């Protein structure tokens, strides 16, 4: 058995030696607002984008004068956060990749190096202080260059980075550049999970619901922090809340790690209602915060999931003062109070995992969708894109998102919105199946990197009241796909240890699915081996029965304790297909048509012909109506059967929620533009029912 602590120390030494040579600070800490330093949001500056063949910029580009006479693409206006793809599209260099087969014509972008560059205003500079470049999200591999000199490197989409650039700055006329190298080419749906060594979102390398559109760019905010060298500072901050199971009484625990100077001061802890009325207002020596402080029996209102009550939230403010009483730092968190316990499913074997989620002493059927990224170019999204979509889900009646392991750690506004709208979050770390093998990496180097990723996820998200559980990843199996992976695997075990250390109040699940078997089937129903299972994703017909009667019989026999992924394909509307097909024909909906070949997993042209006695559809509208009808019936039968079994079954999560690309057919229930398919409307009736 691998000792994770010893492994971390050995590998960390090697990585930190390399990091120190570039001036990089690898940070998994929460982003805090320090009044003792000035924080400038770099999105306010004018950025330009330059493109070169790999490495060609090294002998041509002048970083001080911002000139590159031999660049392939020069001086393109760029917005940050933002993607290279969107900047090129806005400049008219590439076409809209969502139309027809235009996606194929932009794959060359991967084979270039891209330079984002700007000038730092002279008025931002301060003598004698330390200047930190705080990058919340870089996608994903490259170098930081200040005034033509390399100031740091980055190679991971999933963690924030901080770079001390003090020694690279001049008194005036400073330039800052972020150079993105060509991304790796192998991270798509069909590869080897065990061989993953590059930490970039995998979904946009091509999945069964999105073609290859590999984003490069700055996906989250970037700040320049200018301040005193020895400023008193809280370096990491943890706030944990809980509630009495049956009463409106709460518990809050806080703790922090801080600089030696900060320990000489005091902290003021405030917990406020949305009206501003205080629940807590205490000033304490900073040393108490280092040791940890707990408040019990707070008079609060408990937070409830969507459909069961109100989502009452509170503002928690921690203010750090130095020894002279000067304000040095303010940390703010929006928190809520809920109690979670996990109960065994009725009739389950004693050794089975508990899959009944009890919220505030009320058992809740977990009903929702698998959340996948909203767009391949997620760097370009705005908060409004999330608000609109999550509001749609809330109105449909769901209470959980499973944030799938092939994506990325969603932007903060996703979790804030889930807090406000009562949608619980099943959060996966960024690992996913690969088809050719689905076994997680087990080398010390990759385990160490994943430990830092999971630490970053946890420290950033643990205060959110909507966060329900942590999960190792998507469809991670033993070699040979004989069973889901468990915590005997060294990477999974280290994730579990990280959760135990940093967020022990929440459940950790080794993967989705988990338990003795991967999927439910007629062959293993009734044996007590279906705990959390995946599938089916197509209607469970039999050789003798290809009607909805067979579907109903399948789900009547099902005895799974939890379904974290189930799907049925349904076509996008005829209007949307025509809008995005470009010059490709709408029909036939089979492999002979390039429009449909991109979604080959979900083609059901032959099924239509079978159901209609050998007749092909007379129109696109007829085919769409047939396809959407099958999806609606199949998912409704499955959801109703499982919800009716509660508390024998703890939940049912649809694969998938929404399209990130205009797929003519997919298992989504909300299309690319946010329109609900008929299946979503029918499912909503079941989600909102008490039966």
What pLDDT digit, counting tens, does each position of 295-307 carry? Answer: 999 999 999 999 9
- At a CB cut-off of 8 Å and minimum separation 6, what does 582 contact? 99, 100, 101, 102
pLDDT in the model for residue 657: 97
Instruction: Scan for tokens 């200047």, then name that residue.
Output: 131
Instruction: Scan for tokens 């974290």, then name that residue.
Output: 564
Mean pLDDT, residues 628-645: 98
CATH for 31-227, options being 2.60.120.260, 3.90.1150.10, 3.30.1330.10, 3.90.550.10: 2.60.120.260
Spatial distance between the Cα atoms of 503 and 334, rounded to a whole number of angstroms: 17
Domain 531-691: CATH class, spelled out: alpha beta
**Residues of the chain with pLDDT > 90: what percent?**
91
Spatial distance between the Cα atoms of 159 and 27, rounded to a whole number of angstroms: 7
What does R_g of the chain's alpha carbons equal in angstroms?
Answer: 26
Mutual angle of helices 444-461 and 4-20, in 10-degree steps = 90
Q: pLDDT tens digits, residue range 401-412?
A: 999 999 999 999
Mean pLDDT, residues 279-286: 96
pLDDT in the model for residue 4: 61
Spatial distance between the Cα atoms of 408 and 138, rounded to a whole number of angstroms: 12
Spatial distance between the Cα atoms of 580 and 586, rounded to a whole number of angstroms: 10
Backbone angles phi, psi at 580, to 5 degrees: -110, 0
Spatial distance between the Cα atoms of 482 and 517, rounded to a whole number of angstroms: 8
Spatial distance between the Cα atoms of 406 and 408, rounded to a whole number of angstroms: 7
Contact between 227 and 38 (Cβ < 8 Å): yes
Mean pLDDT, residues 590-597: 96
Average pLDDT of every residue of the chain = 94
Coil, helix or strand at residue 298: strand
CATH 3.40.50.1370 fits 234-335, yes or no: no
Q: Are 31-227 and 234-335 in the same CATH fold?
A: no
Domain boundaries, the chain: 31-227, 234-335, 531-691
Report which of 227, 287, 222 is spatially closest to residue 260, judged by C-alpha positions: 287
Greatest distance between any 2 Cα atoms in the chain: 86
Spatial distance between the Cα atoms of 276 and 279, rounded to a whole number of angstroms: 9
- At a CB cut-off of 8 Å and minimum separation 6, what does 190 contact? 434, 435, 436
Q: pLDDT tens digits, residue range 115-144?
A: 999 999 999 988 778 899 999 999 999 999
Token pair for 589: 């909906």
Q: How confident is the model at residue 470 (pLDDT cuts 50, 70, 90)?
A: very high
């Amino acid at each position: 058995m691998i000792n994770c602590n010893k492994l971390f120390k050995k590998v960390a030494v090697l990585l930190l030696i390399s990091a120190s040579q570039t001036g990089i600070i690898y940070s998994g800490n929460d982003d805090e607002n320090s009044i003792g330093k000035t924080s400038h949001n770099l999105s306010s500056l004018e950025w330009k984008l330059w493109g070169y063949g790999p490495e060609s910029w090294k002998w041509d580009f002048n970083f001080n004068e911002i000139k590159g006479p031999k660049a392939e693409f020069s001086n393109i206006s760029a917005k940050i956060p933002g993607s290279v793809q969107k900047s090129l599209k806005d400049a008219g260099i590439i076409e809209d990749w969502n139309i027809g087969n235009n996606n194929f014509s932009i794959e060359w972008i991967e084979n270039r190096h891209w330079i984002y560059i700007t000038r730092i205003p002279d008025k931002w500079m301060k003598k004698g202080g330390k200047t930190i470049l705080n990058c919340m999200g870089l996608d994903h591999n490259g170098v930081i260059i200040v005034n033509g000199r390399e100031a740091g490197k980055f190679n991971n989409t999933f963690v924030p980075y901080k770079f001390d650039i003090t020694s690279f700055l001049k008194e005036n006329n400073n330039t800052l550049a972020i150079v993105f190298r060509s991304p790796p080419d192998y991270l798509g749906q069909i590869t080897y999970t065990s061989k993953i060594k590059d930490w970039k979102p995998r979904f946009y390398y091509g999945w069964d619901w999105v073609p290859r559109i590999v984003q490069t760019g700055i996906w989250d905010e970037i700040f320049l922090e200018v301040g005193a060298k020895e400023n008193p500072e809280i370096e990491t901050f943890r706030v944990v809340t809980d509630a009495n199971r049956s009463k409106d009484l709460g518990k809050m625990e806080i703790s922090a790690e801080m600089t030696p100077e900060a320990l000489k001061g005091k902290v003021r802890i405030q917990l406020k209602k949305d009206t501003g009325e205080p629940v807590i207002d205490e000033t304490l020596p900073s040393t108490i915060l280092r040791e940890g402080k707990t408040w019990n029996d707070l008079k609060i209102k408990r937070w409830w999931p969507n459909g069961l009550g109100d989502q009452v939230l509170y503002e928690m403010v921690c203010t750090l003062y130095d020894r002279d009483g000067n304000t040095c730092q303010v940390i703010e968190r929006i928190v809520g109070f809920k109690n979670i316990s996990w109960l065994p499913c009725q009739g389950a074997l004693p050794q089975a995992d508990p899959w009944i989620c009890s919220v505030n002493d009320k058992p809740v059927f977990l009903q929702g969708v698998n959340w996948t990224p909203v767009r391949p170019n997620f760097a370009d999204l705005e908060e409004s894109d999330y608000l609109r979509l999550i509001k749609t889900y809330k109105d449909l009646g769901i209470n959980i998102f499973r944030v799938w392991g092939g994506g990325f750690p969603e932007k903060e506004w996703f979790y804030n919105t889930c807090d406000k709208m009562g949608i619980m979050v099943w959060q996966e770390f960024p690992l996913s199946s690969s088809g050719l093998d689905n076994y997680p990496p087990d080398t010390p180097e990759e385990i160490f990197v994943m430990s830092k990723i999971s630490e970053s996820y946890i420290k950033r998200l643990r205060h959110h009241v909507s966060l329900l559980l942590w999960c190792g990843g998507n469809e991670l199996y033993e070699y040979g796909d004989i069973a889901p992976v468990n915590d005997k695997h060294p990477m999974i075990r280290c994730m579990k240890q990280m959760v135990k250390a940093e967020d022990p109040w929440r459940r950790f699940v080794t993967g989705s699915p988990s338990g003795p078997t991967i999927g439910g089937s007629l062959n293993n129903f009734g044996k007590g081996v279906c705990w959390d299972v995946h599938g089916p994703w197509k209607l469970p017909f039999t050789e003798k029965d290809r009607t909805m009667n067979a579907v109903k019989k399948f789900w009547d026999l099902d005895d799974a304790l939890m379904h974290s992924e189930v799907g049925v394909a349904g076509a996008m509307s005829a209007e949307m297909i025509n809008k995005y097909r470009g010059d490709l024909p709408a029909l036939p909906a089979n492999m002979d048509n390039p429009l449909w070949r991109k979604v080959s997993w979900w083609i059901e042209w032959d099924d239509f012909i079978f159901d209609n006695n050998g007749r092909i559809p007379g129109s696109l509208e007829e085919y769409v109506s047939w396809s959407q009808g099958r999806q609606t019936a199949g998912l409704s039968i499955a959801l109703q059967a499982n919800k009716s079994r509660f508390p024998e079954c703890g939940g049912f999560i649809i694969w998938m929620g929404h399209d990130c690309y205009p797929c003519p057919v997919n298992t989504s229930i909300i299309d690319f533009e946010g329109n609900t398919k008929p299946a979503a409307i029918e499912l909503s009736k079941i989600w909102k029912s008490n039966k």
